């Protein structure tokens, strides 16, 4: 990772998560330095180097960059800040109060019930579920 690189780590087995990441990929600015990576493609050694465990990346989406790591709604906000147009603004809103007050429980509900949302696959129900944000 260079000093400008970041990784968005998501559950690649979950159809809902993969669909949303594909949506985000189409909206990322050309100058983005964030890579979108399924957690299954990372080894335990790589995760350990980022101070993450396999359980961490099964329960939450993460954005990890030099000097920071964010999970859940904060990771979504950080990823949206790499998008273009109003999506970038939405990332800023989610990142700060009062937007974060709504985004946090919203993320928990989406993560908890992702197996029932459009684009979901059976793997969404068996992937690590959040127990709280």
For residue range 50-103, list pLDDT tens digits in order: 999 998 998 899 999 988 999 999 999 999 999 999 999 999 999 988 988 998
H-run or E-run covering 37: strand 34-38
Rg, the chain, Cα only: 14
Distant-in-sequence, close-in-space partners of 113: CB < 8 Å, separation ≥ 6: none
Q: Is a pLDDT exceeding 80 seen at residue 124?
A: no
Q: How many alpha carbons lie under 13 Å from residue 9 in its C-beta half-sphere? A: 27
Q: Which is nearest to 81 in space by CA: 131, 6, 15?
A: 6
| Each residue's pLDDT tens digit, 14-49 | 888 888 899 999 999 988 888 999 999 999 999 999
> Which tokens is 10 given?
């998501």
Structure tokens at 52: 């993450």
């Amino acid at each position: 990772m260079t000093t400008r690189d970041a990784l968005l780590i998501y559950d690649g087995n979950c159809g809902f998560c993969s669909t949303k990441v594909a949506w985000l990929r189409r909206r990322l600015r050309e100058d983005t330095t964030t890579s979108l990576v399924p957690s299954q493609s990372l080894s335990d050694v790589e995760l350990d180097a980022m101070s993450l465990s396999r359980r961490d990346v099964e329960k939450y989406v993460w954005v990890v960059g030099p000097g920071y790591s964010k999970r859940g709604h904060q990771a979504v906000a950080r990823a949206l800040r790499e998008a273009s147009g109003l999506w970038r603004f939405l990332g800023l809103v989610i990142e700060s109060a009062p937007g974060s007050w709504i985004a946090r429980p919203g993320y928990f509900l989406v993560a908890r019930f992702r197996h029932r949302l459009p684009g979901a696959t059976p793997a969404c129900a068996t992937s690590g579920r959040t127990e709280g944000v």
